Amino acid sequence: MNRIHIQLAAAILAVVVTGCSPNDADSATTSPGPGEPTATEEATVSTTPRELWDSFGLGTYTLMYAYVPSDEGFTVEVVDGVPVRIVHTNGETRLPERMPPDAPTSVEGFFEVIDANSGAYSLVVDYNDELGYPTRILIDPEDGVEDDEWGYTITLVTE
C-alpha cells in the first residue's frame, strides 16, 4: 500500500516540478520534422468534403448527373467554373441560361442543393473520397409523405 502512495506522490511531484505530465515532457520540446505540418497548419487542414473540393481549385471538368428516381439527367462541361455546354440525356443541347433556376450546373451547384435541403427530414450525401465532390444526394423532405424522395447521382470527369 505504501509503495503505491510513494509512486503516486513521485508522479505528482514530477508534474508539479516540470509543469507537464511525465508522458508529455518529450513531446512538448520537439518540433515538426521537414515536411511535417505544424500544430497551426494541422488545425487548418481541409476536413469537410466541400473544403477538400475547394482545395483542388478545379474549374474545368465535365459533370454528368442523373435525377433520382428517374435516369434523366445532363452532361455539363464546365470551364473556369462556368457551365459552357449542357447536353440532356436525350441528346438535346441546352444553353446554361435556359436551364431551370434550381438545376445544378456545377459541383458548387450541388453543394448549394445540399445546403438548401439541410432541414429536410432525411438528407443522405455520399462524397468522392479523393476530390470531395458529392456523388449521390438523396433527399426526403418530409416524414410520412409517400413518394416525395428525390436526388441526384453524380459523376465527375477531370482532365
Q: Are residues 56 and 15 in the same domain?
A: no
Please state the pTM of the whole predicted model.
Answer: 0.69
Q: Are residues 54 and 120 in the same domain?
A: yes
pLDDT in the model for residue 51: 95
Distance CA 67, CA 122 (A): 17
What type of residue sits at position 58? L
Q: Are residues 60 and 14 in the same domain?
A: no
In terms of residue numbers, what domain contains 22? 2-43
- Is 54:45 a contact under the CB 8 Å cutoff? no
User: Looking at residues 107-116, what average pLDDT do you find?
Assistant: 96
Q: Are residues 71 and 119 in the same domain?
A: yes
Structural domain count of the chain: 2
pLDDT in the model for residue 135: 97
pLDDT in the model for residue 159: 62
pLDDT of 1-40, one tens digit each? 333 333 333 333 333 333 444 444 444 445 566 656 554 4
For the chain, give the percent of residues with pLDDT over 70.
70
Q: Are residues 101 and 26 in the same domain?
A: no
Which three-class secondary structure state does DSSP give residue 91? coil
Indicate if the pLDDT at residue 53 is higher than 70: yes
Q: Are residues 89 and 139 in the same domain?
A: yes
Q: Are residues 97 and 152 in the same domain?
A: yes
Greater pLDDT, 56 or 39: 56
Q: Are residues 54 and 127 in the same domain?
A: yes
- Is 86:95 a contact under the CB 8 Å cutoff? yes
Which candidate, 1, 22, 19, places its Cα nearest to that of 10? 22
Q: Are residues 92 and 127 in the same domain?
A: yes
Indicate if the pLDDT at residue 124 is higher than 90: yes
Q: Are residues 85 and 133 in the same domain?
A: yes
Q: Are residues 21 and 64 in the same domain?
A: no
